[in-house]
Homo-oligomer: A and B are copies of this chain.
Amino acid sequence: MSGADDAQIVRDIREDREHGASWLAREAARQMALAAAGEGDAEERLSRVRALGQALAQARPSMATIANTVARVWMVGAAQAGDAQAQLEALRAEALEIDARWNSATDGMATWAREVVSGTVYTHSRSGSVEQTLTTLARERVGHEPLRVIVAESRPGGEGVELAGALAAAGAQVTLVADSACAVFIEQAALVMVGADSVRSDGAVVNKVGTRTLALVAQAAGKPVYALAERLKVTPDSYPLVIEEMNPAELLPQPISGVLARNIYFDVTPARLIPHVITESGPTDKRDIALLAVEAERAYRALMAP
C-alpha cells in the first residue's frame, strides 16, 4: 500500500454519509490494523501508520470518536517495549480488540438506557445505540402494550424515516413528525433519547443538527433528555470543535440567485440541556466525563505530537 491508498482511506471516511460516528470509528480502527499488518520495513510502516492515524483523526471534525479511537490504538502501540515490529503488533491487536469490543459497548449502553424508558420516547436522527435500545424494548413488548416512539424526520438527510421503519418492524408504535413540530409533540412524550457524535469535556453533546433545538424544547416542557455515547466519544480538550457543513443542494436542489443555503449537519447542545449522558459503564456525571476527556487528551497528544 502507498500514501495514495491512505489518502483514499481518509477520503472514504470524510465523504461517508451513510454511517454514524461509531461505525466510522470502527472502520478507522480496522484500517489502522490493516496498515500495521503490511509488508516491508517496520520503522517505515510505523511512521506510515502514525501519519494515517493523524489524517483519520482530522477527517471528521464533528466525530471526535474517530480521533479517540485511532489515538488510543497509536498510544497502546507506542507504549509497547521493543522494536517497531513489536509496536506494530501491539497497536494492531488493540485496533482489532476495540472493533470487537464495540458491540458489547453498544449492548451495555442499551442495557442501561432501557432502565430510563418509561412512556413515549421522542428521538431525533438515527443513532445506532438508540435504535438498538428501542428495537430490543419494542420486541420484548410484542403481545403487550407496545413501545411508543415519536421520530423526527431529521432534515436534511431525513434518516428519521428509516429509523421509524426499523422501529415499526420491531413492533413499536411509531409516530413520524416534522422537525419543526417538536414543540407540539414533546407534550406527548415522557422523555427524549438521542445518540451523540461526540461529547465535549464539559458534557456538551455534538450530534445531528436539531438535537439542540429538541433538547431546548424538551427542557422547557420539563421532559428529561438522555444522550447515549460510548466512552470513546468523549473528546480531548485540545481537539478542535469544527461543525461540518455539507452540500447545500440537500436543502436547495435548484440554486436561487441571492440565496445561500447553509447545510450545517451537526450542532452542540450544552450539558445543562442534556444532563443525562449514558455510556457503556452506565449513567455518567460531570466528573466521569472530565476524566474520560483527560484520558482521551493523553492519547490524542501522543498521536499528534510532532
Binding site for B on A (CB under 8 A): 124, 152-156, 161, 164-165, 168-169, 171-185, 209-210, 212-214, 216-217, 220, 251-252, 256-264, 267
Contacting residue for A252 out of B171, B173, B176, CB 8 A: B176
Given that A153-B251, A216-B220, A252-B161 are contacting pairs, would A210 and B258 also be in contact in the complex, using a CB cutoff of 8 Å? no
> Is A179's CB under 8 angstroms from B179's CB?
yes
Question: Could you tell me the distance in whole angstroms from the C-beta of A159 to the nearest C-beta in chain B?
Answer: 12
Question: Could you tell me the distance in whole angstroms from the C-beta of A227 to the nearest C-beta in chain B?
Answer: 15
Chain B residues closer than 8 Å to A161, beta-carbon distance: 252, 256
Contacting residue for A259 out of B154, B165, B184, B260, CB 8 A: B165
Chain B residues closer than 8 Å to A185, beta-carbon distance: 262, 264
> Is A155's CB under 8 angstroms from B175's CB?
no
Contacting residue for A124 out of B180, B210, B214, B257, CB 8 A: B180
Q: Count the copies.
A: 2
Question: Could you tell me the distance in whole angstroms from the C-beta of A106 to the nearest C-beta in chain B?
Answer: 24
Measured CA separation A210–B185 after assembly (Å)? 11
Measured CA separation A165–B185 after assembly (Å)? 30
Measured CA separation A197–B155 after assembly (Å)? 25
Chain B residues closer than 8 Å to A212, beta-carbon distance: 183-184
Interface pairs (25), CB distance under 8 Å: A155-B155, A155-B180, A161-B256, A164-B256, A164-B259, A165-B256, A168-B259, A174-B259, A174-B260, A175-B261, A175-B262, A176-B259, A176-B260, A176-B261, A177-B251, A178-B263, A178-B264, A179-B179, A181-B264, A181-B267, A183-B267, A185-B262, A213-B217, A216-B217, A217-B217
> Is A210's CB under 8 angstroms from B178's CB?
yes
Chain B residues closer than 8 Å to A176, beta-carbon distance: 251-252, 259-262
Chain B's closest residue to A170 (CB) is: B258
Chain B's closest residue to A138 (CB) is: B258
Question: Could you tell me the distance in whole angstroms from the C-beta of A132 to the nearest C-beta in chain B?
Answer: 18
Chain B residues closer than 8 Å to A154, beta-carbon distance: 180
> Is A258's CB under 8 angstroms from B155's CB?
no
Chain B residues closer than 8 Å to A155, beta-carbon distance: 153, 155, 178-180
Measured CA separation A213–B184 after assembly (Å)? 8
Measured CA separation A172–B257 after assembly (Å)? 11
Given that A165-B256, A168-B256, A256-B164 are contacting pairs, would A156 and B178 also be in contact in the complex, using a CB cutoff of 8 Å? yes
> Is A180's CB under 8 angstroms from B213's CB?
yes
Question: Could you tell me the distance in whole angstroms from the C-beta of A211 to the nearest C-beta in chain B?
Answer: 8
Chain B residues closer than 8 Å to A153, beta-carbon distance: 155, 251
Measured CA separation A49–B124 after assembly (Å)? 49
Chain B residues closer than 8 Å to A124, beta-carbon distance: 180
Chain B residues closer than 8 Å to A210, beta-carbon distance: 178, 180-181
